[in-house]
Chains A and B, each alone.
Chain A
Amino acid sequence: MEPLLAIVVGVLYSAAIYLMLRRSIVKLILGLVFLGNAANLLIFTVSGLTRGRPPLIAAGEMRPLGVFADPLPQALVLTAIVIGFGVVAFAMVLAYRVYQTTGTDDLDKMTATDR
Chain B
Amino acid sequence: MNFILVLPIVVPLLAAALSLLAWPWRWLQRLIAVAATALLLACGLQLTVSVAERGIQSVQMGNWPAPFGITLVADQFSAIMVAIAGLMGFTVTCYSLASMDRDREAFGYYPFLLILLMGVCGAFLTGDLFNLYVWFEVMLMASFVLLALGGGGQQMEGALKYVTLNLVSSALFLAGAGILYGLASTLNMADLAVKLRAVSHPQLVTAAAMLFFVAFGIKAAAFPLFFWLPASYHTPPVAVSAIFSGLLTKVGVYSLMRTFTLIFVQDTGYTHALILAIAALTMITGVLGAVAQTDFRRLLAFHIVSQIGYLLMGLGLFTAPALAGAIYFMVHVIIAKAALFLVSGIVHRFAGSYDLKKLGGFGESHPWLAILFLIPALSLAGIPPLSGFFAKLALIQAGLQIEQYGIVASALAVSMLTLFSMTKIWAEVFWKEAPAGFVSESAPRSLPAMSGVLLFGPVVLMAGFLVLIGIAAEPVFAFATRAAQQLIDPAEYVHAVLGAQK
Write the B220-251 contact mask toward A (1 if CB under 8 angstroms, else 0): 00000000000110110000000000000000
Nearest opposing residue in chain B for A114, CB measure: B231
The answer to whether B181 and A91 touch across the interface, beta carbons within 8 angstroms, is no
The residues in A between 61 and 94 inclusive whose CB is less than 8 angstroms from any CB of B are: 70, 72-73, 76, 79-80, 83, 86-87, 90-91, 94
B153's partner among A40, A47, A101 (CB-CB below 8 A) is A101
Write the A8-47 contact mask toward B (1 if CB under 8 angstroms, else 0): 0000000000001000010010001001101110111011
- How far is it, in angstroms, between the C-alpha of A98 and the C-alpha of B171 when the chains are bound? 23
Min Cβ gap B334→A in Å is 24
Give the secondary structure class of B's interface: helix
- How far is it, in angstroms, between the C-alpha of A48 and the C-alpha of B235 when the chains are bound? 45
- How far is it, in angstroms, between the C-alpha of A32 and the C-alpha of B160 when the chains are bound? 12
- How far is it, in angstroms, between the C-alpha of A107 and the C-alpha of B151 when the chains are bound? 18
The answer to whether A40 and B160 touch across the interface, beta carbons within 8 angstroms, is no
The answer to whether B182 and A39 touch across the interface, beta carbons within 8 angstroms, is no
Q: A46-B179, A79-B134, A94-B148 are in contact. Are A32 and B154 (CB under 8 A)?
A: no
The answer to whether A86 and B159 touch across the interface, beta carbons within 8 angstroms, is no
Q: A76-B130, A94-B163 are in contact. Are A47 and B178 (CB under 8 A)?
A: yes
- How far is it, in angstroms, between the C-alpha of A47 and the C-alpha of B160 when the chains are bound? 33
A57 at the interface (CB under 8 A from B): no
The answer to whether B178 and A73 touch across the interface, beta carbons within 8 angstroms, is yes
Q: Which residues of B contact A32 (CB under 8 A)?
A: 164, 167-168, 171
The answer to whether B152 and A43 touch across the interface, beta carbons within 8 angstroms, is no
Q: Which residues of B contact A87 (CB under 8 A)?
A: 137, 140-141, 167, 170
A53 at the interface (CB under 8 A from B): no
* A-B contacts, CB under 8 A, total: 103
- How far is it, in angstroms, between the C-alpha of A58 and the C-alpha of B235 when the chains are bound? 59
* Number of A interface residues in the complex (CB < 8 A): 36
Q: Which residues of B contact A44 (CB under 8 A)?
A: 178
The answer to whether A46 and B181 touch across the interface, beta carbons within 8 angstroms, is yes
The answer to whether B157 and A47 touch across the interface, beta carbons within 8 angstroms, is no
A50 at the interface (CB under 8 A from B): no
Q: A47-B181, A83-B134 are in contact. Are A113 and B163 (CB under 8 A)?
A: no
The answer to whether A98 and B157 touch across the interface, beta carbons within 8 angstroms, is yes
The answer to whether A110 and B160 touch across the interface, beta carbons within 8 angstroms, is yes
Min Cβ gap A18→B in Å is 14
- How far is it, in angstroms, between the C-alpha of A44 and the C-alpha of B178 when the chains are bound? 8
Q: A35-B168, A70-B185, A79-B134 are in contact. Are A40 and B157 (CB under 8 A)?
A: no
The 9 closest A-B pairs by CB, nearest first: A43-B178, A46-B182, A39-B174, A35-B171, A101-B153, A113-B231, A39-B175, A112-B154, A98-B156
Selected A-B contacts with CB under 8 Å, 16 pairs: A20-B168, A38-B175, A39-B175, A43-B175, A43-B181, A46-B178, A70-B185, A73-B178, A76-B177, A83-B134, A83-B137, A90-B141, A90-B163, A91-B163, A98-B157, A113-B235
